[in-house]
Amino acid sequence: MAERSFAKEVQKLRLGAGEEFAGEGILAITKALLQCGVGYVGGYQGAPISHLMDVLSDAQEILGELGVHFEASASEATATAMLAASVHYPIRGAATFKSTVGTNVASDALANLASGGVTGGALIIVGEDYGEGSSIMQERSHAFAMKSQVWLLDPRPNLPSIVSAVEHGFELSEASNTPVMLQVRIRCCHVHGAFTAKDNRRPPMTVADALENPRRDTQRIVLPPASFLHEKEKISKRLPAAIDYIKRHQLNETFGGSGRVGIIMQGGMYNGVIRALQRLGLADVYGETDVPLHVLNVTYPLVEDDLLEFCATKDAVLVVEEGQPDYIEQALGSMLYKADATVRLVGKGMLPMAGEYTGDVMLSGIGSFLRQHAGEMLAPEVRAPNVPAPPIFDDLVKAVPMRPPGFCIGCPERPIFAATKLVEQDLGKHHIASDIGCHLFSIMPPFELGATTMGYGLGPASASAFNSPDAKRRSISFVGDGGFWHNGLTSSIGNAVFNKNDGVIVVVDNYYSAATGGQDILSSRASNPTKATKHPITDAVKGMGVKWVRHIDRTYDVGKMRDTLKEALTTQEKGPKVIVASSECMLNRQRREKPLLKKALTDGKRVVKTKFGVDEDVCTGDHACMRLSGCPSLTIKHLDDPLRDDPVAAIDENCVGCGNCGEVADAAVLCPSFYQADVVNNPTRWERFRFNLSQRVIAWLQARRERRRLVFAENAV
Amino acid sequence: MKLGLPEGADSTHRIIKLAILAVGGQGGGVLTNWITELAQRADWHVQSTSVAGVAQRTGATIYYVEMLPKDPDRPEAQPVFALSPAPGDVDIVIAAELAEAGRAILRGFVTPERTALIASSHRTLAVSEKIVPGDGRADGQTVLQKAGEASRRFIHFDMEAIAQEAGTVISASLLGALAGSGELPFERTAFEETIRAGGRGAQASLAAFARAFQRASGAQEEAGPAERTAGARALAAGPARLLQEWKALTLRVAALPSPVQEMAEAGLRKVVDFLDHRYAAEYLDKLEEIAAADRQDKAFAFTLEAAKYLANAMVYDDIIRVADLKTRSARAERVRRDVHLGGDQTLLTTEYFHPRMQEVVGLLPARLGAGIEARPKLMTRLNRFVDRGRRIRTDGIIGFSMLWVIGGLRRFRRSLLRHRVETEHRERWLDLALRKMAEDYDLGVEVLKCRRLIKGYSDTHARGHSKFDRVLGCLPMLAGRSDAADWIRRLREAALADADGVALDGAVRTVQSFAQDGKQSMG
């Protein structure tokens, strides 16, 4: 079950010609795919493209009606390899994943796909996770387009432009027999806008048709000598065909007047450039401007003629190209040099070499460019602005704490790391290799565990060098269930078995690909009508040849978790020690259970709700519990007591009763402040009787003692 | 603050730019959708963006909306909106939490001539604030003050509390505050219709919306929760004999120097609650003795701190105290209130205990306990039976009675090992403080304050003790220095900064180094 349900929104995918479609960018992309008669779609989740996978998953009924095959691919490599269906058959196919991590994983398949070329249009939609809020390293997809010689679309970030890019993407792909990448940036994926819909089209040839009538063409298979020919064909046939298509359909756009300075930009930068011009008084709210703009909705290949023509009449051009290296600027520089051009080429330097091109970066970069090269266009106050010194907020900096992402309330992964911390208290520090996924939050306070993260499913692989008979200590590595199935089973587990790695591997199993939004995977425990779930990770691990396997089916048992880890670190047994730690992702569990509980309550059924609490007078305000938890619900509060210096622990209303704090207090021998309160709704008669009876006895005992002592009002409040 | 350019040339001044800074899980997405829909219903141009992803797993995240009324002359023309907020270019900033308001200011989204800042004044503490052994909370007052200076308008109140009272999430009260602020040119009914159209939970959302609207629009302030009257604190109930004795004790408090009285009374209450009147009288004896030796020109600062820390030292945390606190009727009432127990529900309560032999031995008569403690092998063997987690059901008669009986042991406390140990330790500390006070008044006060370091149970308690010892262990090195008091304060603060004592190690090294230097230069 995905984090967000698009069940309602996907109905918009049925809109017909002329109707207005209003919604999010990703939904618009899906609609565009259907309008293009796509025959099959697949991909791998990951921000910002997760929701596209969720949309497709929720739209399976509509896809089925149109004869479109949907594949929740095992990895980005799988998704890209799937596009092989378009090699020999004129079927349009689309794959989607996040970039650049997904593109890295996919690049083997991408290279082979690009070498042989495609018959049916093949579109790879990459969601760029770059800049603010990004969870990955910062790199450019552009490099992949260049190295594999696939075309890269980077449309202006509005719904009509994105939809048009999907349509042209397929046609461009078919016209040039080359896969096409469509790049959408993170905020663009979630931009809310509108476009005019067209009718959905059934694919002229479905995958079923192709299966019934197999075809092959040795010339399209990547093996010498065909592959040598592909290399030449890319340049002699496919590239010219692509450029021809781009020019004929004017995929790149030119706006603005006929001034002596111009701006060349990636399509995705368009809104940012316009906003800067608007603020400089050179564009109106609708983007009308006198400044000549050349918008590269196709950033690879570059169309030399168009660019030279645009530059021919200019004294200076500014290239707005986000990220590094500056591929476009370098290519343009080479073109201009070879053409003996005299235009001044400005780009990096005026704009920062690295980092996101945010509003203020654009404003200052474009502002400086225009002040230097076209001062006469600017209003006097803009030409020489009187910028006051920015205010100093030193004291405020101290008052605003860092807020990195962390484990959710009741997260079942928290106790795993609490246990690891406890083990380290006993056995000392260890080398810990982390992996991609929610569990990577272990590197943040309060746990601060984990030294490296090398890639999805590569946690144990990245600890593989730490395998020495001379060491008295073993490495610990983590891998999530998502990463495990993505490629961890072979790259990490299989590798450890084969190389007789003596380390400890913890597989964090939360029943979902949780960090990407709770998609089902092979080991998910939910019944999925279209996918095969419930394949135990332990079976896979044993099948791979691991002898020492332990399964913990309730991670909240901190004591057991700690003891198992300790055993794994100290056992005489050789070879990898694998602990599969399973408990359902609390976010998904709440989403699943809440409606059920609500219904049970209204039906008058017996429902127990658990919440934890802290006795504030028992708590001494040391916060040792926080250092082993970090639960958002476990917080601190100040008591109105002059005798107390430090705030005490408190559990807020959002507690889901996972039990971690009680378990940690027990396992770490912290303090007796924690209590668990189970509220029984609609109790049975026997329960009610017992409750009333014990309450009466308890009240009598309490009264007996309180009659003989002083009771202060404060205690009775 | 204007970053970059003057307003004059800007062609976007008709666009309303609104940024929402939230902590993941606060419903920022819902709020963004409401605002977007609101503008759509008014037939405005509108665009919203968000960053979905791991940033929303309790991290800080920003939603952004731009909107513009349609030009009647060219209703089809599409404006070009920005996808993310730019410093110095935001009209309305909504912060779903106070520190996030501070972050918005730091990032330049809030400017004095432009921005209306609407913020909930509650705090969602970051992990870094919670894990400090002392008080690591960030300074909310600074944020409030700077927010006032940095913004054109600053609307702030506890929108989280309003939402909670209405049984909904903060997005509803934030929308209410936005509507009430009048910053968006839409009628109140338009906001409410948007919420209603959302369907699920609309009733609760509307209630929170209405209350926040009222607060933000400056309509009559509702009365806050009744202030506790000052006198109520001292009220005591109990048998007449005890009340009479209590009255006699409070009369002695009234005779203490006036700056000390309030603290002394709080201390007295804590001590009598812990054991009995004789114990409370011991507390006052000591305090009177200290006050007599104290200096009026220092406003009895030493006695004031003694009133606080002596009470804390006398009321040590033992199993008896925990059992006693957990079996009181007031506690049962607090738990019931905490879980909002209804009449038709029943309640099970489970206490999480993990006693070890060290604690149990403290419960034994002093000589027996000390005898066992002196034999580590026996301790280890016995610990095997003791050292395990105990879940005690205090809603049941057996579990409750067990704790009740243990709580009743308090009257034997004086004869128990723990009491002897605590008393000796306390007396050593007080003597030390008094001695230092005679040499250097401020140093004496600081020595008293170091009692703050001793807290927690089990290992945490032991760690607190060791920090206490290490800080006071620096006293000889500081002997004769005029800044000794200041150094003890710094050492104590370092000890409270982190659990592992890293900061304390650093501070101790500094003291050692200048102590060394001092010796060399003297030699």
* DSSP symbols for B336-372: HHHTT--TT-EEEEEEEE---HHHHHHTSBHHHHHHH
Q: 10 Å Cβ neighbour count for B472? A: 21
Residue A132 to chain B, least CA–CA distance (Å): 8
Q: How confident is the model at residue A81 (pLDDT cuts 50, 70, 90)?
A: very high
**Best mutation target, B23, B65, B80, to test chain A (most A CBs within 10 A):** B80
Whether A448 contacts chain B with CB within 8 A = no
User: Is there a contact between A408 and B243 if contact means CB atoms under 8 Å apart?
Assistant: no
Q: 10 Å Cβ neighbour count for B126? A: 26
pLDDT at B231 over 50: no
Segment of A319-323, B58-62, B130-134 carrying the highest mean pLDDT: A319-323
Q: Are B53 and A186 in contact (CB under 8 A)?
A: yes
Q: Are B83 and B64 in contact (CB under 8 A)?
A: yes
**Three-class secondary structure of residue A611 per DSSP:** strand
Question: Phi, psi (5° rounding) for residue A131?
Answer: 90, -155
pLDDT at B6 over 60: no
**Three-class secondary structure of residue B154 per DSSP:** strand
Closest-CA residue to B12 (of A451, A436, A288, A390): A288
pLDDT at A198 over 70: yes
What is the H or E stretch that residue B281 is in?
A: helix B277-293
Q: How far is CA B472 from CA A481, A523, B373, B476, in A?
A: 51, 57, 26, 9
pLDDT of residue B119: 97
Q: How confident is the model at residue B200 (pLDDT cuts 50, 70, 90)?
A: confident
Domain-wise residue ranges, chain B: 16-216, 235-314, 434-522
Can you name the CATH fold of A414-588? Rossmann fold (3.40.50)
Interface A-B, measured as beta-carbon pairs within 8 A, has a size of: 445
Average pLDDT over residues B418-445: 97
pLDDT of residue B236: 87
Residue B19 to chain A, least CA–CA distance (Å): 13
Please tell me which of the candidates B137, B325, B458 has its beta carbon nearest to residue A647.
B137
Please tell me which of the candidates B8, B59, B105 has its beta carbon nearest to residue A379.
B8
SS (H, E, C) A280-316: CCCECCCCCECCCEEEECEEECCCHHHHHHHHHCCCE
pLDDT of residue B523: 46
Residue B53 to chain A, least CA–CA distance (Å): 5
- Domain A19-248: what homologous superfamily? Thiamin diphosphate (ThDP)-binding fold, Pyr/PP domains (3.40.50.970)
pLDDT at B3 over 80: no
| Separation CA B311–CA B316 (nearest Å) | 9
| Separation CA A129–CA A98 (nearest Å) | 7
Average pLDDT over residues A535-562: 98
pLDDT of residue A716: 39
Q: How confident is the model at residue A704 (pLDDT cuts 50, 70, 90)?
A: very high
Question: Do the domains spanning A19-248 and A414-588 agree at the CATH topology level?
Answer: yes
Average pLDDT over residues A603-622: 96
Closest-CA residue to A671 (of A661, A685, A681): A661
CATH: 3.10.20.740, 3.40.50.150, 2.40.100.10, 3.40.920.10. Which one for B16-216? 3.40.920.10
pLDDT at B234 over 60: no
Is this complex's ipTM strictly greater than 0.85?
A: yes
pLDDT of residue B392: 96
pLDDT of residue B421: 96
Residue A513 is given by DSSP the state B
* pLDDT-wise least confident of A468-477, A585-594, A610-619, B6-15: B6-15
Please tell me which of the candidates B9, B134, B496 has its beta carbon nearest to residue A280.
B9
> Is the CATH code 3.40.50.920 the one for domain A253-383?
yes
Q: How confident is the model at residue B25 (pLDDT cuts 50, 70, 90)?
A: confident
B53 Cβ contact list (under 8 Å, min separation 6):
A47, A48, A50, A129, A133, A134, A135, A186
The pair of structure tokens assigned to B268 is: 């007295």
pLDDT at B477 over 70: yes
* Residues of chain B contacting A687 with CB distance shorter than 8 Å: 346
Q: Are B41 and B190 in contact (CB under 8 A)?
A: yes
Task: Write out pLDDT tens, residues A20-56.
Answer: 999 999 999 999 999 999 999 999 999 888 889 999 9
pLDDT of residue A388: 65
Task: Write out pLDDT tens, residues A442-498.
Answer: 999 999 999 999 999 999 999 999 999 999 999 999 999 999 999 999 999 999 999
Q: Could you tell me what percent of chain A has a pLDDT over 70?
A: 99
Closest-CA residue to A556 (of A450, A482, A627, A662): A662
pLDDT at A315 over 80: yes
pLDDT at B5 over 60: no
Phi-psi bin for A71: left (phi > 0), alpha (psi -120 to 50), beta? beta
Q: Are B319 and B408 in contact (CB under 8 A)?
A: no
pLDDT, greater one: B7 or B305:
B305
pLDDT of residue B27: 83
Whether A395 contacts chain B with CB within 8 A = yes
Domain-wise residue ranges, chain A: 19-248, 253-383, 414-588, 603-716
A634-637 and A648-651 strand pairing: antiparallel
pLDDT of residue B56: 61
Whether A227 contacts chain B with CB within 8 A = no
pLDDT of residue A391: 72
Q: Are A636 and A648 in contact (CB under 8 A)?
A: yes
**Best mutation target, A617, A635, A651, A676, to test chain B (most B CBs within 10 A):** A617
| Separation CA B69–CA B17 (nearest Å) | 12
pLDDT of residue A390: 65
pLDDT of residue A235: 97
pLDDT of residue B227: 44
Task: Write out pLDDT tens, residues A116-151.
Answer: 999 999 999 999 999 887 889 999 999 999 999 999
Q: Are A517 and A45 in contact (CB under 8 A)?
A: yes
- Average pLDDT along chain A: 95
Q: Could you tell me what percent of chain A has a pLDDT over 90?
A: 91
Nearest-Cα residue of chain B relative to residue A712: B236
Task: Write out pLDDT tens, residues A551-592.
Answer: 999 999 999 999 999 999 999 999 999 999 999 999 999 999
- Average pLDDT along chain B: 92
Please tell me which of the candidates B87, B346, B460 has its beta carbon nearest to residue A624.
B460
* Residues of chain B contacting A610 with CB distance shorter than 8 Å: none
| Separation CA B439–CA A411 (nearest Å) | 55
Q: What angle do CA A287, A292, A295 make, to 5 degrees?
A: 75
| Separation CA A29–CA A166 (nearest Å) | 7
Whether A187 contacts chain B with CB within 8 A = yes
pLDDT of residue A1: 59
A265 pairs with which residues across the strands?
A295, A320
pLDDT, greater one: B278 or B233:
B278
pLDDT of residue B515: 83
Q: Could you tell me what percent of chain B has a pLDDT over 70?
A: 93
pLDDT of residue B225: 45
| Separation CA B461–CA B440 (nearest Å) | 29
A710 Cβ contact list (under 8 Å, min separation 6):
B236, B237, B238, B242, B243, B246, B272, B273
* Residues of chain B contacting A406 with CB distance shorter than 8 Å: 57-59, 127
Average pLDDT over residues B231-259: 87
